[in-house]
Each structure stands twice: as C-alpha cells, then as structure tokens.
Structure 1
Amino acid sequence: MRQIMSIIVVLAAILLAATTVWPPGKWTVGQWTIGRWTIGRWTVGQTVQTTSGAVAGHAASVASDVSEYLGIPYAQPPVGSLRFQPPVRYNGTGGIDGRNFGAGCMTSNISAYDSDFPQELVDKYGITDIGLKVLSSITNPGIRTSEDCLTLNIWTKPQTGERRKAVMIYVHGGSFVLGSSAVPGYNGQFFADEEDIVLVTINYRLTFFGFPGNPLGAQNLGLLDQRLAVEWVRDNIASFGGDPSRITLFGESAGGALVDDYSYAWPEDPIVHGLVPMSGTTRGIGVRNRDIAAEFWFNASSAVGCGDSTAPAQQVYDCMMRAPAEAIISSLVNTINSPVGMPYSPTIDDKIVFGSDSNRSAAEVPMLIGNTDNEVGLFRVFVPQPDSDEFWHYQNQMTFNCPVAARSLASVRDGNPSWRYRWHGVFPNTVLATRPPSGAYHGSEIAVLFGNVDQSVIPNTREEDAIGQYMRGAFAAFAKDPVNGLLRYGSGWPLYAPDEKTLVRIGYGNQTGANLAIGTVYDEGC
C-alpha cells in the first residue's frame, strides 16, 4: 500500500493596467475596467530590448502572425559557485538569439520504465499506441538538459487586439524531477494567436538541483526560480505588448502545486493577479520536512563519495559543489521506488514553504482551480496490483479531488473571487488505456488546452477542437479580468459555492460549454 501511495503522489506531479489598483481582499464584481496603450507599429519577430539584452524573435512555426521568443535567460546560470544557491537576476546588454529553446533543467528518473515501458503492463491494461506516446513523453525525449537552464519563452501578437494584453505564465509539471518548457504540448503559439494574450513558459530547477535538502543552504530553489521568472515578466513584458498589472500564474500537476505554494510564499506581494492550480495543490501533493530533505541530501552525497551525515556538513557541501552533475543525477533514487512520495520536492523552511499547522494566509487574488475526472487513469497503468476500482477511486479522492475541494473552500472563505472546474473530455487521440478505460486522466487536458494534441496517429474530432477552443477562451477570460471575466464568458461561470450548481464541468459528454453541477457532487469522503 505504501508503495502504491508513493506512486500516486509521484505521478500526480508529472503532468499543477500599470495604474490599476488591486485593493487586497476588496473585490467589486462588475466594475473592473481595463486600460489600453500603444507600443507602436509591430513587426512580427522584431527585436525587443529587455533587462537580459536585445532579444531577436521570429514568426511562430504555424501561427505565423505570432512572434516567438525562445530561450531568454532570466537568471544567471546556476553553476559553479551558484550551484545550490538562490537564483541571481540576469542582466545583459548583448544580443539573444530567440530561435531555440534553452536547455531543460537536469532531470532524474520517475521509474525503471523511463526508457522502456513493460509489455506486460501494455497488454494488461490495453495501452494504446497513443498511450505509449503519452508515457514516453513523460521522460522529456530528445530535450537537451543542463544545469544552465533558467530561461523563459514568450509568444505574443501585439499588432492586433489589445495593445496591453493580459499575460499568462505557465509552470510545467513532472513530479518535480522532470519536465521542460520545450515540451511540444506547452507551445504557446495557438493560445496567443486565438485569445489575444501573451503566453509565457518557464524553466525552473528540478530534482536534486531544485530541491536539494542541503542543511547549509536554501531549500526551495525551484520555487525561488519561479518567483524570479515572475519578476522578470513584471519588469519586461510591456515591451512585448503585455500588461504587467494583469499577470496570471497557471500550472498543472507539480506545476499546479508550485502555483499553490507560490500563493502562500509571497502573500503580501504576489505580483500576479490570478492563480490557476490545475490537478495539483500543496495539500494534495504535499511537502517534505527538513529531516527528510536532509536524508536525501546525504544519501546523494554519500553515493558520489562526498561523505554522509557523520561527516562535517561544510566538508560535504564543498564536495557536492564540485561533484559532476551527471554523477549526482546517477546517484538519485527512482522517484517511484522512494520510501516517500516526493523525494525531491518543496521543503518546509518556514520562510517560503510552511507546514500545514502554520495558519498562513494565501495571497488575496482570484483563483480558478480544478482537476480531471479520472486522474488515476494515468497512474494505475504503472503497477500490476492492486487494480480494484474502489482502491483507485480512493486515490483519486485523497490526492486530487479532496485537496482541490479544500483549496476552493479556503479561497472562497478568504473572500477571493473563486471558480472550480472539472475536466471530462475524452477523445480518440487522447485515449491512454482501455482495460479499464483511462477516461479523463491526469494531464489529458493540457495539450487540448494549448491546442497541441499530437495528431500523427488520429486527427482531432470537431468536438475536441471546439472544447479546446472553449477552454482556452475561459482561461483567457479569467486572465483578462480575474474578477469578472468568467462571469461574462459564454453563458457565464458562476462563482463557486459548494452547495449550489457552481462546479463547471468542461467537456462533459464531449459537449462544448459549461455543464453545471452541485459544487460538492464529487466530494464524497472529503
């Protein structure tokens, strides 16, 4: 049972106007207005001056009216003396070639299946060709990795629509040990093209390099990276046609948990004006305590020959600063085989990550939060036993649905405009497994949301295209006006109230639009 719980928690994180005044906790629904500005005539791909240097862009590969800027450094490379240190802002005056994604951050294994999924489980669960593509994509195939990885990417279309566009920053998932902003499913060109927003994706340090557990240093480097990336966007996005007073932070799985962590880490100065945790919350995925974090630090230091917890801590630290990155990575435990659910993950430091008993308030900003209907449809294919529907339903509730329900209620009680959704879409080219049907599994909505579903085997259905367009429109409406946008979107999304028909079911019956259900209809056992 303990191993199964670890697998669930691990894989859960795989796939989460400049003059406008936002008075904390004081929301006036129906009276918020958006300003406009002009940044001058815009040429697709034009060079943009930033605090990192002059960034040259280009037309996006398919949406050719969208300007794409890739691999922009927002922090100094965290190498040498900056390894295991908080990120340091990057300032540059030279030119940046924005044609290629930066390297992904260093990764470590999820399981022994990372390179070859067992035929036994393929046969047992009826995993489809599409499903095998999904499972192989988890391990970042073909994406170069490096310690020098702190970059971000921007898609924008200032020549049309609002000249001061809402900004959406996406935080990828990956169990805190995998993922990259270069994953094709996260490409922002269609989002920016269709919804008149600026889309940003970021890299942040992962696994042991992002969450090292170093007793002598900062703990939550990956979360600090995320904060610095948000600061970079605040300071530079106006030059790309973005509105620094309308920034929404959204992410899925581990990325959703990091969005939630962010809301508690900087409640007095969140910078962002909307939060969207998707299939990941601090409560559901959890955090490590300092003792567990230090245990994994010393496990790695011992494995690479730098000493264990009986050696002087400074001596161990100095040695780990010099150890080759590849040697460190090869020493790390496979996440599924770990005795804890998330061996490399946010750690309670009482500075930016806090224990459940801290009673710390989150940032007072609007929230859109949700999860998929059958999150565990992804996880159960990784283990031969147990396979009862009752067992997996319990995992679905405890890791995802109940934590989302609790976080929704907390946001409402704090007086923030709050919406809750549930993803139900199932399409021929998203089916993972057939025995039992995988349904709307963990992460199945992401490529649909971004408009990047792999159609090399099976093309999109008309319903899939329409539902993806509807979901993009809803997220963009929230980003453009986090207080009122969803109230006015389509037939209107009601503010979340647990005992009323306010839970928005997206893709329910593969129909476009908002199908409403009682807010707590899926919350049994919570």
Structure 2
Amino acid sequence: MRCLPLIIALAAPLAAASACRPPKWTVGQTVHTSSGPVEGHAASTASEVSEYLGIPYAQPPVGSLRFQPPVRYTGETKISGKSFGAACFPSNISAFDADFPQELIDVYGITEVGRRILATITNPGIPVSEDCLTLNVWTKPQTGEKRKAVMVYIHGGSFVSGSSAVPAYNGQFFADQEDIVLVTINYRLTFFGFPGNPHGHQNPGLLDQRMAVEWVRDNIASFGGDPKRITLFGESAGGASVDHYSFAWPHDPIVAGLISMSGTASGIAPRSAALATELWYNTTTALGCGDATTPPSTLLTCMQSAPAPSLIATLLNTIDSPNSVPYSPTIDSTLVFPHHHPSNNTTNTTNTTHPTAPLPLLIGTTDNESGLFRLFVPPQPSLTPAQETTFWHHQNQHRFVCPAAARANHSSHRDGNPTWRYRWHGVFPNTALSTTPPSGAYHDSEVAVLFGTVDEGLVGNTKGQGEVGRYMRGAWAAFARDPAKGLGRYGREFDGVGGGMGEGWPRYVAGEETLVRLGWEGRAGASVVRGDLYDDGC
C-alpha cells in the first residue's frame, strides 16, 4: 500500500552522439549515461523488455548534503542495473502485519486478501538508506517507435513512506505492451525530504523529483526514449507531487504532459511555514543540537552529523499525529504556494495567483478513496452507521474529489489546457480490503491494475480485470504519446479488449458528458457521464 491515512541547477544535456540509440538493440545491453555505463537484463516476465535498476541520478544526500538540494551524480564506473536501490528513509510509522488489531479485522470484515494488502503499507523487506536517490528504466527499443514516449512515475506514501522498489510499480508490462519507456524514481521522504528548516531549504524532496526529470531528459534517448515526450504521473502523494511540479516550474516544465491520480496540491495540503518550523525545532531540540536561539549554521552542522536512526526516533508518529501530513511539502512561495482548499464553504478553485505549466492534464480519483483510510480508525460510538458513512463521504469529497474537480476546472477553463478527468470504479476479488462496509474502489486500488502487477498469490485476476488493466495502460500511453490529442483518439466503447474502437475520450467540461468512468461494472472501456456528477459538496 502506498499511502497512510489522511495523512537544481540545470545540467547540460549530453552530447548528441551519446543520445543516439544503437542501430540494433540487444535485450539488456549496456547503456552509456551521465551516471556511467549501466548494464541491463531481461525483465522477469516480459523477457523482451530491458530492465535497468538502481541508477543513481544524484549524489548520496548524506553528511553536508543532508537537507540540501540534490547534487547531480556523474560517474564512469559501471552500474550493474540488477537490483533496485535502497528506499529513502521513512518516518517511524506503525506497520500493519500479523498484529493488525483483531477488533478492526472483525468490525470491518477485513479479508485475507485485505490483510495481505495492508501488511505491505510500510513496504516491509525493502532496504532503506539515506543513499537512495536512484531511478529505474524499462524499455523495448527493438520494436515500435524509434523514439518512444516516456512515462516517469512518482510513488505515493503521504510523503513519509514508499519506494520505487514496491512490486506494484514494476514497469515491465507497461513497456512491453504499450511501446513506451517507463521510469520510476525515489525521492527523499519525511524529515529528510521536508525538514522545515526556516534558514535552509524546505523542500529537498521536490527538488529530487526535478533532478530525476532532468536526468531523464538528458539520458533517456540512449534507452530509446523521446526527451521531448516525457509525461510525469503519480498517485496519492505522487499525484500531489505532479501538481506541485506544475506550479514550481511553469516556464520550464521539461515534461510534455501531467497525470495526477488521487492527489492534488490542495487536497493533500502543504504545510504552513510555521508548522514546518515548529517540527524542525522540535527535532533539533530532541537531538541536543539547539533551538531557535542557536546560530543556524551551528545547528545545521549538528543536524547533518546526527545518526539517521536517532533522528527518525524523534519524529512524530505519522499515524497518530494530530497533523494529517506532518512531514510534507512546505509553503515557501518558490516551489510550493498557498492553495484554496475546496470545501462546502469555499470557492471551488485552486491557486489563481501563480501560473501553472501550460500542459495537457489527465486527473482523477477513485470512487471510494476512504475505503482504505477508515480501516485505521475504530468506529465512533457516538456516531450511527449512517453518520459514519456521511463522515467518510465528506472525507472523500474534501480531500480528493473536490480538489480534483477544482484542478480540472483550473486547467480546462482558466488556462485552456487540454484536460481529461476520470473516476475509478474497479472492484475485484483480489483487491477487496473489507466487507462491512465493502471497501469498494478505494484509494490506491487502481495502481496495481494499471501496472498489471496485482498480487495473485491468494486470488487470481478475473478475465475482466485483465482487460481493464490493458485498457487503462493503453489510455495512459495514448496520453503520453500525444498529450494534447492522444486520448481524443482513444477508443471508449466496452469492446471487451479496450482501445481502438468507438469515440475518443471527451475533454473535460463540468456541465457536459465528459467524466470518464473506468472499471465500471468490471469491464474494459469507458462509461462517460456528466463531468460534475459526483461533485456534491464542492
């Protein structure tokens, strides 16, 4: 699972000669990059796909580089490309394993499949380290376009957990089936990525994402990719990161398209500078490095020398914290800006004073985002079942649906960008979390279906489920190949296969038949309804 409850300088491009794809591609061949030569290998299942893992794009952010902007990695030493890099350090979050409270298992009817999914929420078994700024590439240059569209995925995890090594994000099926190059990245999380230092850099984690995109721009042609057709996409905190990216680099976005899944800059709201500063000094004091009266340079030097485990031990528990996302992007008016937060009492808009990158946007949410989040919270005795349902519906609207509607309107109506909006309805036996109430199409439930990586260890995919996944991969890839027009040509009939038939996806207009429902009734294709059909309370 990828999300917890509620909770830079430009480098010169490589020489043109090094960016040229070899005339004949051999699966797993060594690729020369600015990080050094990278050896590849055949992907585990899609054996015609070349897989390159654990490529460093920035120097290890340790010692004097801790809490600082990333510094580009360059080297000549061969990189094996056989293993994922370490995950970036998470917060001291609570794992949900065999000791998941029996009370909640019984109350919510959490299924065996659900327990298995919930047990992965903290990515158990994935090594962690501060030396974590790596990325992975899946490609199949021997077929299809000579310069393929590129998709760069930013993982979720409430900005406090997650990794590109999570099995759900394996890009081999995307690359094999859709003639695109798929890239996944790591970026600094929690206090390391968002330290809150009032005298330093507030958002190194977002700068990591930017540097990874720069690395892709400068190196992806050597993997058969087109540096002029990069789409940035992500889910949950990754979706919010995509949105933040559009505000942070409006005049030099590098990428050609944006896909924001179940996360926006206003829905997963950034921290105020005041809260970030408070948490910074709470940690510096706990480590004995000083407080607001200590000279900033002295304090920073001490914090950069503190052992990482000691630092993590001082952090807030990110599940029990009174703050929904205590370690997250911080408003600095350089990378992160204040956003209006759509709700019953505010205007349904996002930030209207700062420009966004003028790029095509695909944005959407799941039908029941809170089907995941409510499992972490015991039922409230003071609320009737109907009141509980109303509360969680409000959370869906407040955190996800209304911000997505606002962002779609911002992109389509104010900026005139090609914009598409979807809603995920897929519910399958091997993705169900609970039965009382049913978890439905909950937060993150579409990601493994999209990547073709659903865990079938307990229950296999249904026939329709496989077709839904193929249809979604086709849609996302159609957008990446031509962000302005690709979806307008992509089939949307329930044809049993997905793609290639029927009318294309309509551009989003709130009051017209333009909202695309995916996974509707478990079938491939798209059911189109009024754009604001689900926007009650917005």
TM range (shorter): over 0.9
> Which amino acid in the other structure matches residue 385 of structure 1?
P
Cα shift readout 1:344-387 (whole Å, capped 9, x = no counterpart): 10001111111126710110000000000000000001011336
Amino acid paired to 2:314? S
Work out whether 1:339 is the aligned partner of 2:316: no
- Provide the residue aligned with 1:361 in structure 2: 355
Matched residue type, 1:243: D
Q: Secondary structure at the match of 2:483?
A: coil
Q: Where does 1:34-49 land on structure 2 (aligned, <5 Å)?
A: 39-49=22-32
- Kept in 2, the 8 Å contact 1:216–1:317? The answer is no
Aligned counterpart in structure 2 of residue 518 of structure 1, from 511, 524, 530: 530
Contact 1:112–1:334 (CA<8 Å) still a contact in 2? Answer: no
Whether contact under 8 Å (2:262, 2:364) holds in the other structure is yes
Deviates more, 1:300-309 or 1:439-448: 300-309
How has the CA–CA distance of structure 1 residues 412 and 398 changed in structure 2, closer, same or farther, with 3 Å as cutoff? same
Q: CA deviation at 1:516?
A: 0.5
Distance 1:175 1:38, change over 3 A: closer
Match of 1:396 in 2: 396
Q: Which runs of 5+ in 2 are unaligned?
A: 8-19, 340-350, 492-501
The answer on whether the counterparts of 1:12 and 1:442 sit within 8 Å (CA) in structure 2 is no
Residue-by-residue CA offset, 1:426-464 (whole Å, 9 max, x unaligned): 000000000000000000000000000000000000000
Separation in 1, partners of 2:352, 2:471: 39
Matched, 1:122 2:115: no
Partner of 1:313: 296
Q: In 2, are the aligned partners of 1:12 and 1:280 still within 8 Å (CA)?
A: no
Residues 499 and 519, structure 1, Cα contact 8 Å, conserved in 2:
yes
Secondary structure at the aligned position of 2:129 is classed as coil
2:520 aligned to 508, 511, 514, which one?
A: 508
2:279 to 290, 293, 296: 296
Partner Cα distance (2:158, 2:537) in 1: 25
Cα distance, 1:310 vs. partner?
4.1
Contact 2:248–2:336 under 8 Å retained in 1: yes
Aligned to 1:495: 507
C-alpha contact (below 8 Å) 2:92/2:313 kept by paired residues: no
Aligned to 2:475: 474
Give runs of ≥4 in structure 1 deviating > 6 Å. none
**Distance in 2 between residues matched to 1:194 and 1:412, nearest whole Å:** 30
Secondary structure of the corresponding residue to residue 348 of structure 1: coil
Question: C-alpha offsets along residues 375-430 of structure 1, whole Å, 9 cap, x if unaligned?
Answer: 00000010113361111101100000000000000000201000000000000000
Residues 96 and 119, structure 2, Cα contact 8 Å, conserved in 1: no
Aligned to 1:426: 427
Q: 1:31 maps to which residue?
A: none
How far apart are residue 113 of structure 1 and its match? Answer: 4.7
Residue correspondence of structure 1 range 212-361 to structure 2 within 5 A: 212-356=195-339, 359-361=353-355
- TM score, norm. by length of structure 1: 0.92
Pair 1:447 & 2:448 matched: yes
- The aligned counterpart of 2:345 is none
Shift of 1:298: 1.1
Which consecutive unaligned segments of at least 5 residues does structure 1 have? 1-8, 14-36
1:378 corresponds to which residue?
372
Residues 89 and 129 in structure 2, CA contact (< 8 A), matched pair in contact too:
yes
- Of 230-239 and 318-327, the range deviating more from structure 2: 318-327
- 1:110 Cα deviation from its structure 2 partner: 3.5
> What is the RMSD computed on CA atoms of the aligned residues?
1.4
Q: Deviation string for 1:310-339 (max 9, x for gaps)?
A: 444333222111100010011111112222
Distance between the aligned counterparts of 1:462 and 1:225, measured in 2?
39
- Give the counterpart letter for 1:281 in structure 2: T
Would you say the 8 A contact 1:72–1:96 is kept in 2? yes
Kindly indicate whether residue 179 of structure 2 is the aligned counterpart of residue 196 of structure 1: yes
SS in 2 for 1:248: strand
Q: Per the alignment, in what secondary structure is the counterpart of residue 99 of structure 1?
A: coil
Does the 8 A contact of 2:242 with 2:260 survive in 1? yes
Letter in structure 2 aligned against 1:510: G
The one-letter code sitting in structure 1 at the alignment partner of 2:63 is G
SS of 1:212's equivalent in the other structure is: coil
Distance 2:355 2:325 in 1: 24
Deviates more, 1:115-124 or 1:88-97: 115-124
Q: How many angstroms apart in 2 are the aligned matches of 1:341 and 1:12?
A: 5
